[in-house]
Structure 1
Amino acid sequence: MSPVVTFTGRDPRTSTPVTVSVRDGLILSVEEGRLQTGDWIAPGLVDLQVNGYAGFDFNAEEPSPRAVVAATRRLLTDGVTTFVPTLVTASHARIADRLVALAQARTLDAATARAIPYVHLEGPHLSDQDGPRGVHELEWVRPPSLDEFDDWQSGSGGLIGMVTLSPHYDDSADYIAALTARSVQVAIGHTHATDQQIRAAVTAGARLSTHLGNGAHTVLPRHPNYLWSQLAEDGLTAGFIADGHHLPAAALKAMIRAKGLQRSLLVSDAVSLAGCPAGEYRTPVGGHVVLDEQGRLTHVESGLLAGAARGLASGVAYAATAAGLGLADALELATVSPGRFVGGRGRLVPGGRADLILFGWQPGDTDLAISTAVQGGVEYPSPTGM
């Protein structure tokens, strides 16, 4: 039996010291700490939407299992102990190849296998309209096909655990019900669906809204529209990108208040350029894009956002201030709330996975200064030494 290891930090809710005892990858106890410390302590961050990170792209033309492992290591040192790789709209063969690469990565590296519970398919069954489609390639947008899904699922060893679609297609409800019966979670996103179609999707089993407020027309009818419909639907938990670019502070604050903390969560929607210097790039997600000094990533020709270039820790810090949440509530949107969709991760409880972070933060900071991340009891210190 391994020795007990302890981690002490301040509880973001009470500011009092807390000591978490860990052995063999599990939490033994969470108790009042005796030592004063400057760091905060919290569960490891859980990100349900990561397209790539730190120069590594899960949607690469030639997908690489080694690149997935490398991205996982960077995500871990940045505080993300669980993440869901997200594959975007593409041909059947390209999606199949990318799924295989992700499945192989989980066999190569134990930390990657622990970090990735499943894969998220964002598409290809999305709106074909400009605006809602975002930067997904129109050529490959198509109606749902259960045969196509089953082929992907078989080829990847059952790795798909979430699918984002637009429920405007005639057979959407049947498709959603079939995926739900296969224990696959369904999210609504990149849609121009009507209120009735959204309601039918929820009745069939849809449970999430993918980056609500984005992947939408630039101009919408005052009412009704698909944003109001999803905000009002109690059966949907909404994901929000809190990077300061996808949603203005007032919109983020209003939408979280409308959904409530229990039905809200944060995602990064990070692409491979997250953590890269400003400049023009060509990427599988978005094509010809430009990343500015403020971290805004846009498609050169259309000006549409092409994913996010900031990690989830930055989103927590932004939401804490911009949405008026405070640190503890913002953290819950990136731990407990998304954790419900990955088997209950994102909590510090006896018997639970030893996934946690130690970090610095004070009001007004634009990021969490991660000093150490712990996944399954293994420490991943920040390379910056913070």
Structure 2
Amino acid sequence: MILRALHYRTGEPVDIEVQAGRIARIAPAETDRAERDALPYAAPGLVDLQINGFAGHDFNRSPLSTALPGTVARELRREGVTAFYPTVVTNGPETIASQVAAIAEACEQDTDAAACIAGIHLEGPFISPEDGARGAHAREYVRAPDWELFCRWQEAAGGRISIVTLSPEWQGSDAFIRRCADNGVTVSIGHTAATAEQIKEAVAAGARMSTHFGNGAHLMLPRHPNYLWEQLAQDELYSCLIADGFHLPDQVLKVVLKVKGEKAMLVSDAVYLSGMPPGEYETHIGGRVVLTPQGRLHLAEQEGLLAGSAQMLLWGIRQMTERGIASLADAWEMASVRPAGFMKLPAAAGLSVGAPADIVLFRHDGGKLRIEQTCKAGKVVYRYNTNANGR
């Protein structure tokens, strides 16, 4: 298979030859002006480190069907996502065990789930119990880090828990973080009320990332020091950002990019209402919520309070680009090769010879980014159909 497209970084036409699921050759393509203008862009597949659900399918509703992870993997193809980390949030021990086990079973039974699920993100329950920092996580299930309990979950998950979001404010956090790091599990700081010193100690113990930086935080903080400044100051920490235009103001995104550079990454942190039409919904977490035509998800009774993210990585890339915060190429890499590289996935090679052929063809359509084709390991798994609402 040969894909002819504009390279997402250079804008120049190229032929991308795919053999045996990998990129075998990339060469300049000879085109006239008319052909060039008709070409889509080619870019690496998107990698989302934090997805709670999509298109009405929820990784945190119990019981979790083993059919759901594969269904989500297939639905995400229209969003250009070729690898993702289903995210299980704070809950009771048995519920978490059953949810991660269902995801693991799906990966054993469904080839699409196995191909696209790069690991499981466990967000909690080892987070702050404080209001504000805890976010929408249920207070009754919040608890201190417990290595034995985590090992039971990891066993249920078949070793697939790759990321753990926790707050290092708990006594014994450092020992827990070291054990995670020694066992290849990425520790991310989030939903925290930790002191600056506790943040430093967590990084020294092996914490490597900040979960949705700037969100899941108190409404008011000391001027300095505080846990946001400290996470920015820690050079070893990568920062994940929700760039949907609602969770973080532009100035915060700009500051994080200036400080973190290539250690800034995009996540969707999408809840299951992402991909759904605007309207009012009744949810099992948060009650009645409203998804506006503008894409903002808020509590029905309190319009000022967000009820989660309802937008995918494409939306964040567009926001970063249109607001002049990052170039299209840089914003795309924040959502593809950077998270892939951070998690040591083969897809970190991006568009290069020998890399997995996880390739997305996209166009600018009325100011939006529209996926025209998604390839996973060299196989076309999604193609835009104007007669079928993009399916």
Q: With structure 2 as the length reference, what TM-score do the two structures score?
A: 0.93
What secondary structure does 1:245 align onto? coil
Tell whether the 8 Å contact from 1:313 to 1:368 is kept in structure 2 after alignment: yes
Summarize the alignment of residues 230-245 of structure 1 with structure 2, pairs less than 5 Å apart.
Answer: 230-245=231-246
The AA in structure 1 aligned to 2:363 is: G
Take 2:64 and 2:288, find their aligned partners in 1: how far apart are those partners? 19
Take 1:115 and 1:206, find their aligned partners in 2: how far apart are those partners? 25
Gaps of 5+ in 2: none
Take 1:216 and 1:145, find their aligned partners in 2: how far apart are those partners? 23
Take 2:285 and 2:372, find their aligned partners in 1: how far apart are those partners? 31
User: Percent sequence identity over matched residues?
Assistant: 45
Take 1:237 and 1:284, find their aligned partners in 2: how far apart are those partners? 32
Please point out which of 335, 355, 360 is paired with 2:358. Answer: 355
Take 2:301 and 2:91, find their aligned partners in 1: how far apart are those partners? 20
Tell whether the 8 Å contact from 2:46 to 2:80 is kept in structure 1 after alignment: yes
Summarize the alignment of residues 141-290 of structure 1 with structure 2, pairs less than 5 Å apart.
Answer: 141-260=142-261, 262-290=262-290
Per-residue displacement from partner, 1:287-319 (whole Å, max 9, x unpaired)? 443222222122345653232111111111111
- Is 1:85 matched with 2:86? yes
Summarize the alignment of residues 1-386 of structure 1 with structure 2, pairs less than 5 Å apart.
Answer: 5-35=1-31, 36=36, 37-260=38-261, 262-300=262-300, 303-344=304-345, 345-346=347-348, 347-361=350-364, 365=367, 367-379=368-380, 380-383=382-385, 384-385=389-390
Per-residue displacement from partner, 1:173-203 (whole Å, max 9, x unpaired)? 1000001111000100010111110011111
Tell whether the 8 Å contact from 1:131 to 1:217 is kept in structure 2 after alignment: yes
Number of residues of Structure 1 aligned to a counterpart in Structure 2 = 379
- For residue 280 of structure 1, report the CA deviation from its aligned partner: 2.7
What secondary structure does 1:203 align onto? helix
The AA in structure 2 aligned to 1:357 is: V
Per-residue displacement from partner, 1:89-128 (whole Å, max 9, x unpaired)? 0000111111111112112222221111110000001111
Q: 1:229–1:52: structure 2 CA closer, same or farther, 3 Å change rule? A: same
- For residue 279 of structure 1, report the CA deviation from its aligned partner: 2.5
The AA in structure 2 aligned to 1:132 is: A
Q: 1:332–1:146: structure 2 CA closer, same or farther, 3 Å change rule? A: same
Q: 1:267–1:323: structure 2 CA closer, same or farther, 3 Å change rule? A: farther
Take 1:59 and 1:9, find their aligned partners in 2: how far apart are those partners? 39
RMSD value, Cα: 1.7
- For residue 13 of structure 1, report the CA deviation from its aligned partner: 2.1
Take 1:373 and 1:178, find their aligned partners in 2: how far apart are those partners? 38
- For residue 351 of structure 1, report the CA deviation from its aligned partner: 1.7
Take 1:236 and 1:129, find their aligned partners in 2: how far apart are those partners? 23
Q: With structure 1 as the length reference, what TM-score do the two structures score?
A: 0.94
The AA in structure 2 aligned to 1:322 is: R
What secondary structure does 1:319 align onto? helix
Take 2:107 and 2:373, find their aligned partners in 1: how far apart are those partners? 23
Tell whether the 8 Å contact from 2:4 to 2:39 is kept in structure 1 after alignment: no
Take 1:204 and 1:285, find their aligned partners in 2: how far apart are those partners? 33
Take 2:260 and 2:339, find their aligned partners in 1: how far apart are those partners? 14
The AA in structure 1 aligned to 2:148 is: D
Tell whether the 8 Å contact from 1:271 to 1:285 is kept in structure 2 after alignment: no
Gaps of 5+ in 1: none
Take 1:87 and 1:57, find their aligned partners in 2: how far apart are those partners? 10
